[in-house]
């Protein structure tokens, strides 16, 4: 078993290949991506700051004069390029990641109005972080391909041998700092996401590994 599979535990819904059309794997993948989109919508509705990668896009946009949409696309392309030396492979989940999350996010923000009360905004923000972290763990264990940023995280975990919580926090924290230095706007939600989501992903992966004991001795996620 390779290092990627030790980082991401095997489950009853794990697919045999990134382009597999196994029904159970696809069902869990789509459900988790819908959940991910809901989590993203919760963060947007909380109005406590953008995610670190959006802050980076804001900063680069300010410095370059390019639109934030264009910059976001270029960042995704650059992150995908970093997959090559890390030997990460795309899959059907990589494509569905971009389609489903965006669709659910758009629907959520149209249906759910931002709360006025600060306590509810904090609750929505924290709920979004937990939802995204949990959804990430479940869709990644489908082995159908990750989104650009999650794929980078898994590749770095495999190469470094570090745990998901550490790698994800370092990634989000670095992106957050770079975006802020370039002129991006930080918020409380940005910082909570940067330093919290990685540990939610790790905790959920550990729970999955205990729920479905592995045949060998996997590296702790």
The 8 Å CB, 24+ separation contacts for 14-20 are 14/141, 14/142, 14/143, 15/142, 15/143, 15/144, 16/143, 17/91, 17/143, 18/89, 18/90, 18/91, 18/92, 18/93, 18/94, 18/143, 18/144, 18/145, 19/91, 19/92, 19/144, 20/92, 20/144
Task: Give 32's Cβ-side CA count (13 Å radius).
Answer: 27
Q: What is the mean pLDDT of the chain?
A: 90
Q: For residues 179 and 74, give the distance between their C-alpha atoms in angstroms, rounded to a whole number.
A: 15
**Does the pLDDT at position 3 exceed 80?**
no
Terminal alpha carbon distance of the chain: 15
What is the predicted pLDDT for the residue at 64? 92
What is the predicted pLDDT for the residue at 215? 58
Least confident among 69-78, 114-123, 174-183, 208-217: 208-217
**Does the pLDDT at position 102 exceed 90?**
no
**Does the pLDDT at position 218 exceed 50?**
no
pLDDT digits (tens, 9 = 90+) for 132-183: 999 999 999 999 999 999 999 999 999 999 999 999 999 999 999 999 999 9
pLDDT digits (tens, 9 = 90+) for 29-73: 999 999 999 998 899 889 898 899 989 999 998 899 888 878 888
Portion of the chain with pLDDT greater than 70, in percent: 94
pLDDT digits (tens, 9 = 90+) for 124-137: 999 999 999 999 99
Residue that is written with structure tokens 């819908």 in the block:
34
Which of 136, 104, 129 lies closest to 29 in space, CA to CA? 136
Q: For residues 102 and 27, give the distance between their C-alpha atoms in angstroms, rounded to a whole number.
A: 18
52 close to 193: Cβ distance less than 8 angstroms: yes
């Amino acid at each position: 078993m390779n290092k990627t599979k030790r980082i991401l535990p095997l489950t009853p819904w794990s697919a045999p290949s990134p382009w597999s059309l196994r029904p159970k794997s696809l069902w869990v993948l789509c459900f988790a991506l819908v959940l991910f989109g809901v989590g993203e919508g919760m963060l947007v509705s909380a109005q406590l700051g953008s995610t670190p990668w959006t802050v980076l896009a804001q900063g680069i946009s300010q410095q370059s004069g390019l639109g934030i949409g264009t910059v976001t696309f270029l960042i995704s392309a650059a992150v995908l390029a970093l997959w090559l030396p890390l030997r990460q492979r795309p899959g059907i989940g990589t494509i569905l990641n971009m389609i489903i999350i965006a669709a659910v996010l758009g629907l959520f923000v149209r249906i759910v109005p931002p709360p006025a009360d600060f306590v509810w905004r904090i609750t929505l923000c924290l709920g979004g972080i937990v939802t995204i972290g949990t959804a990430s763990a479940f869709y990644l264990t489908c082995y159908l391909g990750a989104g650009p940023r999650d794929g980078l995280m898994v590749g770095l975990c495999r190469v470094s041998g570090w745990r998901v919580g550490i790698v994800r926090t370092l990634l989000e924290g670095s992106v957050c700092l770079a975006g802020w230095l370039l002129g991006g706007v930080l918020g409380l939600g940005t910082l909570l996401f940067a330093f919290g989501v990685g540990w939610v992903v790790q905790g959920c992966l550990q729970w999955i590994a205990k729920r479905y004991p592995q045949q060998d001795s996997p590296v702790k996620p």
